[in-house]
Each structure stands twice: as structure tokens, then as C-alpha cells.
Structure 1
Amino acid sequence: MASTWNVLQGDVFTPSGEKLLEIAHVWKTGKKKKTAVLCIIVGASLPVQLFLVKVRRADRGEQYKRTDKWPLKDLKLVDGKQANQETPEFDLRFDKIYRWTASSSDEKNTLLRCLWKLNRRHLSGRIAFVNVPLESVEGYQRLQEERKADSEFTVPEEETEYQEMTPKESADMLKLMEEYEPLVSNSVAFVERLSRDLQLLDEDKLNLSTKHYEALSSGDLSTPKKVKACSAAVGALTSCMNVQIQPAYRKLQAVAEQLIKFETLRQNFENGFVSHIVNIFEQQGRGHVSWVMRPERKLIVPSHGDRHRDLLLFVPLMTWLKNTNPALFQDLPKVYTRNLSKLYERQIRLFFERARMLLERPKESSHEGLDKLANSPANDPSPPRRSSLADSVDGEGEESDRGNMGKILERILRELEPLYTAEQTFITKFFLPNQDGHQEILDPNEVNLASLAASRHTRTTPQLDESIIQMLKEIFASLESELKNFIGACQRVHQFSFLQILVTLNDYSSDARATPSTSSSAFFVSVLSQILYQARSTFGNRVASLCKEIEDAKVSGKMRLGVLPFISRFEEFVTVSEDAFKSTKRREDLDRAHGKLIGLVFKSIDKLSSTNLKINADMVKMENFHHIHCFLSQMKIQILEDRRKEAKKRYSEHLDRYVIKYLGQPLEKLNCFFDGVKTRLAQGVKEEEVSFQLAYSKQELRKVIEKYPGKEVKRSLEVLYKKIIKHLSPEENLLPLVWHAMEKEVLQQYHEFDHLIHRCYQGSGIALDFSVEDLLEYFETITQSNL
């Protein structure tokens, strides 16, 4: 062992300036294969620090390495296992118990004797020794050996202030004691006088009244009166325990016993109070919720006001517990959250099941249920902030369904907000009664719960404590998912319900933020913001999907397209959205969507009209722009007013192009002839010289006119009319409009031909074979025959 000692001191501890006091070869009980060395050492720094170090030989070679190190001040218990017989086993208890077996009983006793002496000299006896024979640690039969060991285990002077007296110091001490022997002999009288002075000084402060003592001893919290009595008693007890007493007085037996009595009373009541509160939390968490389902078809969430009022009686005691035992107090919010989250989860689930029943009910019974829903009172006694629920359900069909969804959702939010607010206010009062930590309500004569609640409310700030936010998240963990599920159910009922949902959430969120008192419902506003974000995301996704549908639209190879399909989808979206947003001023999202959609509609019309070569592009554009113009004129949407004017302009342009293109068919050769005449005039040929041009002579003009007698003109117009019928879609009813434009254009061309004849062929007697009256009759006859 000497060799081991030297190796350990020289190789392991000397390099770090530490000194080895004792060693023992040990192994974990039941695992002899792994042998280690327990070492008691003195640290290098001041003040003195004592450690227990476990050292193990390296796997290869003779080197030792440290594996564990514990400060001796953390050692709580030394268990020698057997007090009546020798055994090498022993236990050391730090934060956990370490069970070891020494190589021999002597080596174990030597180690324990070292621990016992260090505990007595340097650790003020804080280590408990059990099952250790007195002779093994005190060594009465080996006094000489102990003295030798004392010198061996004594910490050097530079390492501690505790040193044995030298012979000279002992002699001086004896001389001093002889000098003051009379004073020592009168020590009893001195102690009695000191005790009397102490009693006169602190008899009121260190005495707890019998009433308060009995209240705390019984720990009865079954009635409000007894709760108040206990609140007053803990205030008096705290005052007694916080009395400023000199350290010397605390060593007096009477004072020490009284303080121990107070501490025992405090701990007993503290444990009873915590157990009582936990039982209340658990009972409330197991509360029945069957009464949530009302037979009157009312959508109402249960109130928790009575539960909160019962618990608020304990606010003074909660304040006391928070100040006297913060560690124990911190566990109570977790217990409350764990139990109440179960209650709220059941209530909220049943509440939303009832809401879905109203949502999915047939239309007649749904209206009846909503009438009752609108007339049912809310939880809070104040008048409802939003009155739209009281309105009757107007309209039928899908519009009515969407309105019902908005009313149900608004009712849900109006019921849930007071629930959130009440729970948040209660938690703040109950678990954070005094943010500054002062015991300002412990005086039993000043405990007034009503004034307490009022003062708490006046100090409420919009910035919630992080712990309160976390508690509310856990208590209402299911609410956000239930809201999302309800919104999903709405969307399954109607594809455009997301519009009404967005409007309802937007309006409610704006009102909640604008109301001055909503600082108490800040957490509900944050949850509402999450749901609103999802609703806006859904709105954006639906708009994006409609945009893609418009961009990717294709047309068939039919001769007649009519109004393109995506225009009907656009009109449906605009109609439904305008109906949903008609009662709100928050139209930013909708206006952006309308602007984006109408732009894509115009682009797609231009693109699709030119993809099918079998159809006339001007006719397709004319029909679709006319349709859009009529629709926007009917909707009167301010943001789309410029687009409405543009649609009208483009419709008129393509109508003119369409008419001009097909006008040449009934009078084609006349058109070609007089176009040549106009070209010659434009080139500078005089009017009287045109007839001398070979291609535009009087004989050529007569030949062209002869090809268009009145009957031929009428027959050509009839053929043209039938072609127009085939091109135009009947649902737009543009035939009269196009035919009238055609008539106007033909008459204009007639006047132009007649004017050129008079200018360039004056005196020739040449004239068209039909007159204006004939043309008017042709058009009227064709129109009447096709009615």
C-alpha cells in the first residue's frame, strides 16, 4: 500500500498541488473484477477543499487515472452496513448511493476514521455516520495510533485555519481560565439573565396565538371562512419566523425550540395546503361536461366563473407559498395545466361537434337552429359586441349557406373569447399574484379578494408573462386544431365558404385588436391570428388555382365557341366574393385578387381566340369582351371600372372588324371596284379622268353593277345572315346587335358607292340596281323571316 500511496501522490496528485490523506482499495459490491482506489485528498486552493477521488489503473501499464471526483461537503451519509461485526462493505451517499467493498475490514475502518475526523474538524459534523462502531472511528483502545494518525491526517497550516494548540498555547489557556474562574462559575446565572432579557425583547414576536396555531395545525380549508383564517395564520407565522434575531440568541435552547416548532408547523401546513390544491385541480379536471349539450339547440360554451371564484380564495395562500417555497410553488402550474387541459379538451370538442351539427343540418332546420343561436345569451353579461348574429337569415340556396357559416363561426369566436379571457385573467391572478414578489397581502386584516382582483386588473399589461402564455397553450392545446377542422367542414359544405370565413375572421380580428379591453385576451388574439393566417393562405391558394385554370384553359375545335368556360368561373368567383365582402371594408386581399384575375382573363381571351383557325378571332373576342362588359356593368366594382371601360372599347373594336370582314361577301366585286377607284383618286387622278382608265371605265362599271341586281343582293344577305347565326353563340344574343351593325355598314357603303358614281361618272346615267329603301326592306325581311 505504501508503494501505491507514493505512486498516487507523486504521479496523480502532486502535479496539481493536491495532498493525499488516505486511500483504500475497493470495488463495487458484487463486481470484484473492476478494482479501484478511493483517495481522500486536500485541494490546492484556499479555503480548504476536501475531495473523495476514485482512481483506476490504466488498461495497460502502471499508470493511474482519475475516473470520479466528489467534494466531501456533498457527502451526506456514511453507512458501515454492520455495527456488530466486521465487514468490508460500506455505502457512501452523495446525490446517489455508491456501494463499495474494501479489500479488508481494517482498510475500510481506516478510511472511515479519516472521514470521521475530517467531518468533525472541517465540515462541522454535517456528515451522518450509521452502522459504524464507535471504536472504529474514535479508536479509544488505540490512542497512540490515533495520535499518530491525527498528525498524519492534519491538514497543513497553509491549508486550513483549524490547528491543534501547542503546549504553550494550552498553558496560556489554562492560565486564562483560572483568571476568569469566578465568571465561569457564575455562568448559570448569566444564562438565566440572558434568557430573561431575550424573552422580554421578543416575547410578542416569537409567540404565535393559539387561534393561529390551531388553524395551521388542523389545516382545514373546506370553507371560505377557514381559508381566510389560515391566510391570516400564515401571515402571523411568517412575521414570527422573519423576526431579526442575533445569531448568538438563536443558539439559546428556547429560541431554537420555538423556531424549530415554527418551521415544523410551516412545513406541515405547506404540505397539507399543496395536497388540498392538487386535489381541487384533479377534481376539476375530472369534471363532467354532459351539460354542454343543451336541448334548446343553443351553441354555448360552459362558464368557469364559479370554479375561478372558488380558487381565488386561495390567492393569499398561493402568495405565501410562492415566497416561502418557490420550488414547491413552481410545480402547481404544471399540475393545474395537466388537469384543466383535459376538461377544456372535452368541452371544446363537444362545443365544436354541436357547431358542426348546425353546419351540416338541412337548410330548414339549420335556419331554425341559427335563429335560436342568434337569440341565445353569451357567457359574459355585457351586450354582444357584434350584432350580426341577431339578424334573420335572408336569401336561399348557396348564398344563405355561406351566410350561415359566417354566423356560426362568429358565434363560435364570440363564445370562445370570454373563455380565453377569463382563464387568462384567472391564471394571472392565481399563479402570478405579485410580480414583484412582496408579501403585500399576508396581513390578515387586509385580505380582500375583491379589491385584490380589481388591483390585479388595473396592473394587467398587454405583454403577457411567458409562463402564462405557455400555460394557455397547453390548456387550450386542442382549440386551434378544432377551429381548423371546423373551417375544413365549412369548405366541404360549400367550395367558396373560405371567402365568408376570411371576412368573418378579418372583421372579428380587427374588432378584437381595436377594443381597449382586449389586453386581457391577448393570447386569444394570437390564436385568432394563426387561424386568420390559414384563412388568408387558403384564399391565396384558391385564387392561384383559379389563375392557373384561366392560364391553362383550352378550346375545342368547334365552329362556335361562345363565352369561354373560364369566364364563367371568373364570374362565379367575383359574384360570390362580392356577396361575402359586401359588409366589410377590408377589401385589400379581394381587390388584389380581382385585378390579377381580370388581367389573366383578358390575356387568355386574346390567346385562345387565335389558336383555332376554324373560327373568327374577332367574333370570339367580340362575344367574350361584350359578356365581360355586361357583367362588370352589373357588378359595379370600383376597382374594376377601368377594366370595364377597356372591355367595352375592345368589344366595339372587334365588332367593327368582324362586320367589315364579312361585309365584302354580299357586295364583294362592288367593293373591289370602288376600292380601285379610291386608290386612283388617292394617286392624283382627276375625278373626270377616272372613267378613261381601262379597268375603271363606264363599261366595266356597268358590268359589275349588272352582277348585283336586287334579288342577288338579298340572297347574299340571307347567306351572310345564316353564317353569322352559325358563328355566334345563342346565349349571348348578339345576333340583333351584329345584324344591325351590318345593316348600318351596308347602308354606309351604298352611300359611298353612290357618291363615287356621281363624282367620277357624272352624266353617264349609271346607277346601282337597288336603292336604300330596297336594302332596308331586305334587312327587315331577313330578320322577320328568322324570328
Structure 2
Amino acid sequence: MTAIKHSLQRDIFTPNDERLLSIVNVCKAGKKKKNLCNVFLCQRCQQVYRWVASSTAEKNSFISCIWKLNQRYLRKKVEFVNVSAQLLEGVPSLRSVPSGENQSVAGGDEDALDDYQELNAREEQDIEGMMEVCEYAISNAEAFAEKLSSELQVLDGANIQSIMASEKQVNILMHLLDEALAEVDTIEGKLSSYEEMLQSVKEQMDQISQSNRIIQISSTNNHKLLGEIEFLVNHMDLSKGHIKALQDGDLSSPKGIEACINASEALLQCMNVALRPGHEKLTAVKQQQQLFCELRDTFARRLTNHLNNVFVHQGHDQSSTLAQNTAELTLPKHHPLHRDLLRYAKLMEWLKSTQREKYEGLSRTYVDYMTRLYDREIKDFFEVAKIKMAGTTKEGKNKFATLPRKESALKQETESLHGSSGKLTGSTSSLNKLAVQGSNSRRSQSSSLLDMGNMSASDLDVADRTKFDKIFEQVLSELEPLCLAEQDFIIKFFKLQQQPALAQVMTLSLFFSHGNIFYFCFFRKDMVRMMMTKIFACIEMELNSLIALGDKIDTFNSLYMLVKMSHHVWTAENVDPASYLSTTLGNVLVTVKRNFDKCIFGQIKQMEEVKISKKSKVGILPFVTSFEEFAELAETIFRNAERRGDLDKAYVKLIRAIFTNVEKVANESQKTPRDVVMMENFHHIFSTLSRLKISCLEAERREAKHKYTDYLQAYVINSLGQPLEKLNHFFEGVEARVAQGVREEEVSYQLAFNKQELRKVIKEYPGKEVKKGLDNLYKKVDKHLCEEESLLQVVWHSMQDEFIRQYKHFEGLIGRCYPGSGITMEFTIQDMLEYFSSIAQSH
């Protein structure tokens, strides 16, 4: 079988680069089992064969052989169908098959396929050499096998003889083997003893290793314990010096305050240390924390009591300079108080973080104390300001009486100016009596515009108003730094700057009402504003009272107050738009603006209510003069002011009201012709607007000029009328005939308008009569016009021009209607110019 396999591999499979895996011996089925051929199975079969087994054992043996070959050599296993797994896994050995059956299925060299081993190269060479010696090895395998069997028997006999010949050597070998075995036993005994010794050493080493691990764990634990102890000692140990400073440190000296600050910060660090898990259960830690709490409470009480005492003592020291400052219209400076208290700012921060209730209580105490202090200072300050403000008018006959200087009298006189509403209580107060006494007293709210204008011109001169402006500015200038300094101190002392955890919102609360949720954010600025509002609660009230007094003294004072207040509001908003000062001044500015609007409305109302005497000429109306005074004053006050727009709006309202009421008065005038009232007043308005150059009233200025020109011309024509009355009537008749269609050169043929009638009319107006008539006309115009406007010469010159125009018109009619008649007027144009000139000079 081996030779056959070798030949098949060499001749058939090797040329095709294939490998023969195994061979199976089969025979033809029949009664006589005759070996037909040796059939081989290749890895890839291209033909389908049918195999028939004579018995179940042969079938099983064949299938088992095929399955083993499949399992051993094929990568892609062939699937066996309809074959039980028990047969494939546990097929009985071919050796159990009877010899007769075995010969019909497989050869004797395939008894145990599991023990099959592939020939190596040397074995193949030997077999090939042997097969070459025997030529019939392939053609007659049985003969070749018999030959090999005989040769094998010969070799076995030779081997046996060789073994028998070497019995002595075998005995020697056996003896040596026995000695070797004895040595092996000896060595095994020694090895056993060594093993026992090593086992003991191993146990000792294990014990040493275990001890080392325990020592290492103990060392690690000791290091960790030491670290924990060092952590607690470093972070929760407060020095004796700090403890002494907290218990009885001097809070009045700079060194003592610094020591207390350092001690309080150290205490806060100890109390805020982040303990590790388990630390809070240690007795020492609990004792130390209890000590810290006691020190905190003790120092908090000491600090609170000391600061309360500081507030009181500082207040007494501050009151000593109060009278001197108020007499000079200055507010006491609190810089020393702030400087001394700011030394405790860090302690206040500590108190805020450790004892919130004491911090808030101390804040309330400070606010209450400062409220009383500032209330007293500010009220006294405003009382002096009101006295000085009321004393700005001139003293003398029918003017303000001399105001008392003593403090008690000052308080009595200004008592009526105080109250929750901040308004003047009425005319019964002593200060109001001083302000309005005298036969020619100051204007009141019910006084007419005429009276107000006259009084403004006589009593309230520029010096008075300038002094009032300085007083009001002084008041605002004193209040502004006072409020800013106090606000800055509150922020620094009470530590109301932004905090890490409360950068924007200090408190967030939820309020539930009827199912709705309202969120209220409380900002730090609101806290500052709340404290400032309470401390300076009287400022807004006192400012409104002062403004009311200034407005009562002179309504034009609202202009000064509007400009000054606007400027200070603008300044405060640039510093801090949300500050208390900005908010308060903004509220007061609303009042000032309201007074300003009331002043404008009052002037307009008084224009409408003005009454002119029927027995005297009108002249320049009082509200026109008042507007001039108002505009001059306003232009001086509002130069480069922030609220210029308010003034421009007021200008437009006033000028339109003036235009309307000038015409109204002119229509009602009985003594002075309407044209004169319109001409003079619009001339005055035009002159005022031209001089002041108010840009927002440029259109009104042009309108005033137009009205003045129109009414001047109308007055001249109406007043001059027909100075040569009969001559005028004569030529009117001539013009009527021409208008009816009569030719001009034929008019002289009309009976009523012939040359003789013309000469008769002309003779009635000699030069002396004309001059006399003009002189009477001049006196009449002089009675109509007022002196302050100085329009007489303007009107007289316009009448001269109108008279000359009429004269030339008459001459033209004579030349056209009476040509060649030689008729002329009794006087010439040059004579008229001399008449007008001499009349003007004589008056």
C-alpha cells in the first residue's frame, strides 16, 4: 500500500501540484472476493461513486475512515448527511472486525489510521531504492510483499542472534541500569529533604512577607494620621496672641484695631476650613470649634458695643461745629468721622460674614444715628439759606424788613417752611409777612402782569437775582459732596461692593399671591439707596421748601433753579445714574420744571387778564416789557445750559400769546388808536428779538417787523387823512368824472370842475394854513404815541412822505386835466419840507 501510494503521488499527483492524503483497498462485490484494484480518494472529487458494503461493520469502517480523513486533512470539512454522530465519534476500531471481513474492506497496513504517520524523506528514498531493486514491486505487489516479509524474517533472526550474542553487554547494561536506579532513589531522597527544607524556608518567607506588609500598612497609616494631625493643627490652631486680641484687644488704637483685624481673619479661616470626612467626630475638633464659636460671639459683642459708642461720641464731636457751619451757609464735613470709622471696615466685613444679625443691627443703628445728625444739620442749613434768600431784596421803604440774626428768631421765622409736604403754609407765617409787607409789597400769585412787570423793574434788579442764584448754587454745591461722600463711605464701610457669590443679586425671594409667582431681586445698589434715603430723608423736603420760597419771592427765580438743578442732575448722573443723589435731584428737578411751566403759564394767563385804563394812552403793554425782561434774563441764565430746549418751548408759547393779546388790547383800546397800539408794541417786540437774536424766534421776529411796518403805514394814512380837505374833495370829483369816461383834458369844461372852481379851492389853502394844519397834526400824533418807544419822528417822517406823495398826485392831475392853465399850488414841496422840519424842531 505504501509503495502504491508513493507511486501514485509521484506519477499522478505531484505533476498537478496535488497531494495524496490516503488510500483505501476495495474489491468487487460477489461470492468470490477478488481484489480488483487499489482505488484512491483525492481531496477534490469530480465523479460520483457508489460504494456497496457487504456488512454493517464494513460500512461503518469505511465511513469512519472517510470521516477521519475529512477531519484530518480538509480545511473546509465535508458534511456527512444521514450518519449518526455516535458512529462518527465512536466508530469501533478496525481491529475488532473479523479477519475475513477485514480483508474485503481494508489492507493490513491500515489497521490503525489514528497511528498513521507520514513517511519522511529518508524513508521514501529507502523505499524507492528497494522498489528499484525489485522490478515487480509495482506489478506484483503480493510477490513484493512476500519478498519483503521473508527479508524481514531474516532481519529479525539476525537481530535476535545479535541480541543473544550481546547478553553480557545486556547484563552489564542492566547492572548499570540498577545502579542508576539506586542513584536515582538516592537523589530523590535528597531532593525530598531539600524540598522539605525549602518548604520550611517558604513558610518563613511568607511570614516575613506578611510582617513586611503589616509594617508597610502601619507606616502608611501613621503617615496619613500625621498628615491629618498636621492639617488640623495648621488650619485649626489659633495663636494665643490672636485669642488675646479677640478677647480683650484694644479697639480704639490703630495697633489694637490692626491686631483685632488679623485675629478676626485668622479666626474666620479656622472656622471656614473644609474639614475632611470624619474630622467632625473628633473630640479635639469639637472642642476647638466650640472655642472658635465662643471667641466669635465674644468679639462680635465687643465690636458691636464699641462701634455703637463710636457713633455716639463722633456725633457729639460733630455737633460742636454745627452752629459755625450753618452761619456760613456750609454743611459740616464728616470726613473725620468717615476716616475714623473706615479703620473698622474689615471688621465690619468680618461681622457681616460671621454675625449677620449683629451686622444688620449695627447698620440700623448707624442709619438711625446719622438720620438724626443729618436731619438737624440739613434743616439748620436750609433755615439759614432761606433767611439769606429772603434777604436778597433791597431794604428800605416799602421793601423787606431787616431779618433777625439770632438762631431762635431764625427758627421762628422759618418754622412755617417745614412740614411733610415741604410747601409754604400760607401768608400768616412770619417769614411770609416779612416777604410781602409794605404798601407797595412784592407781587403775589394774584397780582396782575402789569404790577409784576413794574415791580420786577424796580425791586428785583440784577444784583438781587444774581445773589439768589449764588445762594441756590451754594446750597446744591454743599449737598452734592455731602451725599456723595456719605454714599462712598456706606459702600466701603458696610462692604456693599459686589461679592463673589452675590455679584448681582443679594437676595432672591419668591412671593406667592393668587397663584402667581413674583420674583424680587434685591440689588446692592438698592441697599445703598435704601440707607441713603433714610439718612437724607429731609433733603428732598427741604429742597422743595426752598424752591417754593424762591418761587414766591420771584417767579423768575424758577429760571435760575431750573438751570442749576439740571446741571447738578446731569453731574450726578455722570457719577452714578442710580445713586441716591441723582434720584433725589431728579425728583426735585421735576418740581422745578413744574414751577417753571407754572411761571410761563402764569404770564400767559396774566396777559389774557390784563386791563388797560380807558383814560390814559396804552403805550407799550406791560407784558411786552415783561417778556423783554424775561428774555434778557433767560438768555443770561440759559447760556450753554443743558435745558435750553425747555426755554425755547417757553419762548414760542409766550410770543404767540403776546401777539394774540396785543391785538386783543388794541381792539379794546379807546384812548389810543388801534394802529398805534399795534405799531408801537410790535416795533418793541421786533427790536427786542433783533437785539437778543433768539434763533428759535426768528420767524416771529420777521412777523413782528411785518406787522409793525403795516400798522405804521396804516396809522400814517389814517392820521394824515386829507390835510387839504376841500382840495381833496375837488380832485376826488375830477377822478370820478375820468372814471365815468370823461377825457382828462375835457374835465375843465365841466361846470363844477372848471378852472375857476379850481383856483377858488386852491386859494383856500395858503402856506400858513397848511403849516398850521400840520402843527395840529403833530400835536395829535404826539398825544397818541408813547415816549419810551420814540416813534414820533419816525411817524412824522412817514407823514411827510405821504403828504408829498399827495401833493405830487394833485400836481399831476392839474397838469393832465388843466393843461396850459398856469394854475399851481400856493406852496411848493420845498415849503412843505420846511414846514415839517420846523414843526418837529419846535416841539
Once the two structures are TM-superposed, the CA of residue 512 in structure 1 deviates from its matched residue by 4.5
1:417 partnered with 2:477: no
Match of 2:645 among 588, 597, 618: 588
Aligned to 2:163: none
Change in Cα spacing, 1:492 to 1:555, as seen in structure 2 (3 Å) is: closer
More displaced, 308-317 or 625-634? Answer: 625-634
Alignment of 1:286-325 (within 5 A): 286-294=316-324, 298-325=328-355
SS at match of 2:321: helix
The answer as to whether partners of 2:322 and 2:332 remain within 8 angstroms in 1 is yes
Aligned to 1:398: 461
More displaced, 291-300 or 722-731? Answer: 291-300
One-letter amino acid of the structure 2 residue matched with residue 594 of structure 1? Y
1:742 partnered with 2:805: no
Aligned to 2:534: 474
Match of 1:566 among 602, 610, 623: 623
Change in Cα spacing, 1:713 to 1:246, as seen in structure 2 (3 Å) is: closer
One-letter amino acid of the structure 2 residue matched with residue 300 of structure 1? T
Whole-angstrom distance in 2 between the partners of 1:565 and 1:239: 79
Match of 2:557 among 497, 502, 505: 497
If each structure's helix is expressed as a fraction of its own residues, which one has the higher value?
2
Once the two structures are TM-superposed, the CA of residue 356 in structure 1 deviates from its matched residue by 4.2
Aligned to 1:657: 714
SS at match of 1:560: coil
Aligned to 1:708: 765
1:539 partnered with 2:596: yes
1:677 partnered with 2:734: yes
The answer as to whether partners of 1:754 and 1:767 remain within 8 angstroms in 2 is yes
Deviation digits for residues 78-134 of structure 1 (CA, Å, limit 9, x no counterpart): xxxxxxxxxxxxxxxxxxxxxxxxxxxxxxxxxxxxxxxxxxxxxxxxxxxxxxxxx
Whole-angstrom distance in 1 between the partners of 2:782 and 2:502: 93
Whole-angstrom distance in 1 between the partners of 2:244 and 2:642: 66
Whole-angstrom distance in 2 between the partners of 1:197 and 1:747: 125
Match of 1:616 among 673, 678, 681: 673
Once the two structures are TM-superposed, the CA of residue 769 in structure 1 deviates from its matched residue by 3.1
Aligned to 1:334: 364
Alignment of 1:344-383 (within 5 A): 344-356=374-386, 358-360=388-390
Whole-angstrom distance in 1 between the partners of 2:639 and 2:274: 72
Once the two structures are TM-superposed, the CA of residue 679 in structure 1 deviates from its matched residue by 4.3
More displaced, 774-783 or 217-226? Answer: 774-783
Deviation digits for residues 413-437 of structure 1 (CA, Å, limit 9, x no counterpart): 3333222222111111121355325
Match of 1:408 among 458, 461, 471: 471
SS at match of 2:668: coil
One-letter amino acid of the structure 2 residue matched with residue 631 of structure 1? T
Whole-angstrom distance in 2 between the partners of 1:618 and 1:606: 10
Change in Cα spacing, 1:730 to 1:669, as seen in structure 2 (3 Å) is: same
Aligned to 2:579: 522
Aligned to 1:283: 313
Q: TM-score, normalised by structure 1?
A: 0.62
Whole-angstrom distance in 2 between the partners of 1:295 and 1:548: 43
Whole-angstrom distance in 2 between the partners of 1:510 and 1:682: 74
Q: Which of the two has higher C-alpha Rg?
A: 2
Once the two structures are TM-superposed, the CA of residue 606 in structure 1 deviates from its matched residue by 1.6
CA RMSD of aligned residues (A): 3.5
Whole-angstrom distance in 2 between the partners of 1:778 and 1:194: 131
Alignment of 1:446-457 (within 5 A): none
Alignment of 1:33-182 (within 5 A): none
More displaced, 235-244 or 311-320? Answer: 235-244
One-letter amino acid of the structure 2 residue matched with residue 269 of structure 1? F
Once the two structures are TM-superposed, the CA of residue 552 in structure 1 deviates from its matched residue by 2.6
One-letter amino acid of the structure 2 residue matched with residue 423 of structure 1? E
SS at match of 1:730: coil
Once the two structures are TM-superposed, the CA of residue 362 in structure 1 deviates from its matched residue by 7.2
Change in Cα spacing, 1:339 to 1:701, as seen in structure 2 (3 Å) is: same
Once the two structures are TM-superposed, the CA of residue 753 in structure 1 deviates from its matched residue by 0.4
The answer as to whether partners of 2:619 and 2:785 remain within 8 angstroms in 1 is yes
Once the two structures are TM-superposed, the CA of residue 228 in structure 1 deviates from its matched residue by 2.2
Whole-angstrom distance in 1 between the partners of 2:268 and 2:339: 26
More displaced, 663-672 or 467-476? Answer: 663-672
The answer as to whether partners of 1:621 and 1:654 remain within 8 angstroms in 2 is yes
More displaced, 252-261 or 596-605? Answer: 252-261
SS at match of 1:610: helix
One-letter amino acid of the structure 2 residue matched with residue 762 of structure 1? P
Once the two structures are TM-superposed, the CA of residue 358 in structure 1 deviates from its matched residue by 4.5
Whole-angstrom distance in 1 between the partners of 2:274 and 2:829: 123
Whole-angstrom distance in 2 between the partners of 1:304 and 1:622: 62
Once the two structures are TM-superposed, the CA of residue 347 in structure 1 deviates from its matched residue by 2.3
The answer as to whether partners of 1:323 and 1:437 remain within 8 angstroms in 2 is no
The answer as to whether partners of 1:680 and 1:690 remain within 8 angstroms in 2 is yes
Aligned to 1:85: none
Once the two structures are TM-superposed, the CA of residue 337 in structure 1 deviates from its matched residue by 0.5
Change in Cα spacing, 1:685 to 1:508, as seen in structure 2 (3 Å) is: farther
The answer as to whether partners of 1:559 and 1:727 remain within 8 angstroms in 2 is no
One-letter amino acid of the structure 1 residue matched with residue 537 of structure 2? A
Whole-angstrom distance in 2 between the partners of 1:295 and 1:222: 28
The answer as to whether partners of 2:250 and 2:257 remain within 8 angstroms in 1 is yes
The answer as to whether partners of 2:569 and 2:585 remain within 8 angstroms in 1 is yes
The answer as to whether partners of 1:502 and 1:532 remain within 8 angstroms in 2 is yes
Whole-angstrom distance in 2 between the partners of 1:576 and 1:206: 74
The answer as to whether partners of 2:617 and 2:671 remain within 8 angstroms in 1 is no
SS at match of 1:555: coil
1:728 partnered with 2:728: no
Whole-angstrom distance in 2 between the partners of 1:423 and 1:349: 17
Change in Cα spacing, 1:246 to 1:562, as seen in structure 2 (3 Å) is: closer
Aligned to 1:666: 723
Whole-angstrom distance in 1 between the partners of 2:526 and 2:536: 15
Aligned to 2:294: 264
Alignment of 1:636-651 (within 5 A): 636-651=693-708
1:224 partnered with 2:284: no
Whole-angstrom distance in 1 between the partners of 2:524 and 2:294: 37
Once the two structures are TM-superposed, the CA of residue 784 in structure 1 deviates from its matched residue by 4.5
Deviation digits for residues 147-204 of structure 1 (CA, Å, limit 9, x no counterpart): xxxxxxxxxxxxxxxxxxxxxxxxxxxxxxxxxxxxxxxxxxxxx9999997566344
Whole-angstrom distance in 2 between the partners of 1:242 and 1:226: 24
Change in Cα spacing, 1:241 to 1:587, as seen in structure 2 (3 Å) is: closer
Aligned to 1:465: 525
Aligned to 1:484: 544
Whole-angstrom distance in 2 between the partners of 1:246 and 1:277: 37
Q: Percent identity?
A: 42
Deviation digits for residues 587-609 of structure 1 (CA, Å, limit 9, x no counterpart): 32222222221221111122221
Change in Cα spacing, 1:196 to 1:397, as seen in structure 2 (3 Å) is: closer
The answer as to whether partners of 2:563 and 2:637 remain within 8 angstroms in 1 is yes
- Tell me the number of residue pairs that the alignment of Structure 1 and Structure 2 aligns: 540
Whole-angstrom distance in 1 between the partners of 2:273 and 2:502: 15
Whole-angstrom distance in 2 between the partners of 1:432 and 1:768: 103
Whole-angstrom distance in 2 between the partners of 1:295 and 1:257: 56
